[in-house]
Amino acid sequence: MDNIFTQRIKRTLSYLEEQKLDVAMITSPTNIYYLTGFYCDPLERFMALVFDVEKGIVQLFVPSIDLESAAKATGMDGLTPISDMDQPYTILKNWVGRSISQLGVEKKMMSLFQAERLKECFSDVRFVDVEEFITSMRLIKSSEDIQIVRRAIEVIEKVLQHGVSKVVPGVTELEITAELEYQMKVLGADRPAFETILLSGPQSALPHGRPGQRKIQSGEFLLFDLGVFVDGYCSDITRTFVVGEASEEQKSMYDAVLQGNLRGIEAVQAGKSFGEVDRAAREYIESAGYGQYFIHRLGHGLGLDVHEAPSIHGQNEMTMQPGMLFTIEPGVYISGVGGIRIEDDVFIGEDGKANVLTTYPKHLIEL
C-alpha cells in the first residue's frame, strides 16, 4: 500500500491530468513537505516540485546542499540538484524538453521574477493556479496528522504551565518569554510556530503586540499566545490570567470572552457554515456589552502553517466537514485597560462534532 505522501502525489497528478495541464510547479516549501515529506527553507535558492503531466513524472529540483536530506522524500521519480552556480530555469527548461502551453503554479507564491524567468523558458505559456486544489487537500486532516497536532499541543501546554509558574510581580515580559522559548526546545519542539506573544497590563490590549522590558504588575491582565511545531505540524493556544486579585471589571470582561469561546465551540457542527460559528460567539460578546472591542475574526485554520484555510469570520459560508482543524479565539481589547483572548484548537471528528484538542484550563485564574 502506498504511503500517505505517494497517495498525495498520485491524487495531485490525477487532478492535473483532469485540468489538461502540461506541467505544474509547486514552490511553497510547506506544500512540498505536504506532498513529499521533505522540508527545507531554500532561502533565495530555487526549489520546486515539478509534475510533467504528459509523461506522468514527478521531479524535485532541490538546492545541492539539501540533496542528501531530500533523498529521504517519497512519491517522486527523481531528484535534480541545483548548485549555487547553476541557472535553475535553464535546467528546468531542458528537463521539460518541449514547448508547453499551460503551466500550473501557486499564484500566491509566484513572484514577478519567477514569472518572467518562466516566460523566457516557455514563451507561449499560460499560468494556471493550482493552489486551491492543494489547499483543499490540506483542509482535511488525517488521523495521523491529528496525532502529531496532539503532540504539539501537549508540548505547548507544558511550556505554558512552566511559564505561568515563573510569573511574579516585577519580572519582565521578555524574561518570561525567554523561559517559554527555552522550554520549547527542552520539551522537544522543532521551533516556535510564531513569535511568542506575552503581554501584560495595557499592552495586552494589542492583539499582536510584542513582549518588551515592561515589568509585570499585580492587578493586571497577563496574556500568553504561543505555539510550536512538532514533526511539521503546529499548535496554537492563548490563555489570559490576572496577576493577583481580579477586579469586577476584569471578571466581567473575562466571562464575556469565555462564554463567547464556549458558544463558538458549541456551534461547530459538520454541515453548518463557519459564519455561524463566528456569529454565535460574536453575538454573545455583543450582548454582554463588549462587541465593539472584539475586533478580529473568530479563528483560522491550523496545520502545517499556523494560519491557513479556513478563515473563520461571519461572512464565510464554507461548510464545515469532518477532518477540519481550526482555532476558536474570541477576544476583547480595551485600550488603557487590557485585553483578553481565549484560544482553543478544535478538530471536527468523524461524527461531525467538535473535538477540543487543547486542554489547559480556561476559567479565570488569578496568579
Tens of pLDDT, residue by residue over 222-281, are 999 999 999 999 999 999 999 999 999 999 999 999 999 999 999 999 999 999 999 999
Residue 217 has pLDDT above 80, yes or no: yes
Domain range list for the chain: 4-138, 140-356
Per-residue pLDDT at 72: 84
pTM over 0.85: yes
Does domain 4-138 sit in CATH 3.40.350.10? Answer: yes
Fold classified for 140-356: Creatine Amidinohydrolase (3.90.230)
Indicate the average pLDDT of the chain. 96
Residue in this structure with the C-alpha cell 483532469, named with its chain if needed = 18
HSE-up of residue 319 (Cα within 13 Å, Cβ side)? 5
HSE-up of residue 243 (Cα within 13 Å, Cβ side)? 24
Burial letters for 111-141: b for 16+ Cβ neighbours within 10 Å, e otherwise?
A: eeebeebbeebbeebebbebbebbbeebbeb
Q: What is the mean pLDDT of residues 72-97?
A: 93
Residues 118/103, Cβ–Cβ less than 8 Å: yes
